[in-house]
Amino acid sequence: MIKTPNGIKLSCKGWQQEGILRLLLNCIDPDIAKDPKNLIAYGGNGKVARDWDSFMAIMDSLLRLENDETLLIQSGKPVGVFESYEDAPRVIMAGSLIVPYWSDWNNFRKLEDKGLTCYGQSTAGSWAFIGAQGILQGTWETFYQLGKAYFNSDLTGKFVLTSGMGAMGSAQPLAATMNGASVLVVDVDRNAIKRSLIESFCDYMTEDIDEAISLIYDSIRKTEPISVGLLGNAAWVYPEILKRGIIPDVVTDQTPAHDLLSYVPLGADLRELDNMRVKEPERYVELSKESIAIQVQSMLEFQRNGTLVFDYGNNIRKQAYEAGIMDAFDIPSFVPLFIRPLFCEGRGPFRWIALSGDPEDIYRTDEVILKEFSDDEVLMKWIPQVEERIRFQGLPSRCCWMNYEERVRFGLIMNDMVRRGILKSPIAITRDHLDSGSVASPYRETEGMMDGSDAIADWPVLNALLNASSGASLVGLYGGGGVGIGYSIHSGMTIVADGDASTDERLSRVLNNDPGLGIIRHADAGYEKAKDIAVKLLKPVMG
């Protein structure tokens, strides 16, 4: 087992390389990773490197990398070290990118079987994964915005029905109850529910649908939030709830529908399905689509009965459409419903990691947030809750949604804290890929753009190029993300705040330009809110 170094002693030739190395190792820390032996950080197969030989070569390259060199990584495999300059990225990577005509799961798996590529999900491939907190924060933010937009407050007294308690869905029970909801989460995997109970993400587990519904209604009556994990298949539970005339306030789904070999269909023993995945993958995919069709048909029926139903970015509508549910896309995506106004102001999932390994470094930054950004209502709600409810996994970290102006201001404050010794060692600043200007994903982040530019993929490419020229420590461009191969292109960025005065300039450039491009992207699409901010703070060329 390889442990993540911490403290102030360097293993590399500079903190930029050291920070990147520690983030890489953090992603396969047993306390944080789904399957560290196979280099899988999270999701079905979100890998940090193509194989162990590639991983060891990456680590060796980072240890030897000079301060004016750049390591290139192609789909999890290091391919060369090139002379660059000190302000250039120490690592540039591209992953899971396939020429569009061939960009689908079938071709990807053939290439993967030949050892030519690997799937990095969103943050695993760019070594920005921070465990449950990152997933929780984005889910919490979605439920927070949902309550504010559709229920004029929070979700207190509201019945939320969802499914999926695996990697991406694991945060749903806690995120919903933190926003006041009574939430029923369905999953076929007993261990996933048990893990959620152990981690205090879920309050109660049952195999009995009657007991589950009784617990939900009792919670609503008392206006005391509860999360109930129901062992079962969503393709059976959703229609059954409908049959009983029960209409939840909110319905969504976080099963791994983007990868049909990870989704669990109805009507077969789990061992039989495991065998079918390997020996009859085409049959398995067919069964998955049949079950997804049933589940989505039920979601549409809930919608017709007045429930707020939304797709949560896992491509379930597309799979249902291909299975014959022609109105699957009548279900809207969560981004147009709740998140796009935030993107218009450059607000998105901002992360920072204490490379010292000392939790006190994060708590000191929390104090700064509460003092310096006290006018930000969302931050004031989030920070106290996350301090109380979440334990650190791997290197201590924090994640919260910050806007264009807040990111650069806070980044410079943290760099100054490192310089003055208030923080024990440098901070790595990164983000999720579900961000304002870093993704082209017509079934998620860029669905329903005002100007019809949903599938225009220039923007994440420009984002990666801009971050590289601005001086980020690590920059990457990737295919797939949470919706699967062929459905999105996204970019990643990390910069290490090492306390050096010269890093102030790099931080200012990167943390302005990264979200700034997102504002311009939305201004270009016609959003007035983004236009106003762009004119005030940026330099748009066209009106």
Active-site residue numbers? Answer: 400
- Those residues whose C-beta lies under 8 Å from the C-beta of residue 377, and which sit 6 or more positions away, are none
For residue 241, which of 175, 162, 147 has the smallest C-alpha distance?
A: 162
C-alpha dihedral (6, 8, 14, 17), degrees to nearest 10? 10
- Those residues whose C-beta lies under 8 Å from the C-beta of residue 303, and which sit 6 or more positions away, are 251, 309, 330, 331
d(CA 170, CA 72): 33
Q: Are 180 and 140 contacting, i.e. CB atoms less than 8 angstroms apart?
A: no
For residue 537, which of 339, 361, 404, 368 has the smallest C-alpha distance?
A: 404
Q: Are 478 and 120 contacting, i.e. CB atoms less than 8 angstroms apart?
A: yes
What residues are paired with 163 via a beta bridge? 186
SS3 539: coil
- Those residues whose C-beta lies under 8 Å from the C-beta of residue 54, and which sit 6 or more positions away, are 76, 77, 78
For residue 182, which of 230, 141, 134 has the smallest C-alpha distance?
A: 230
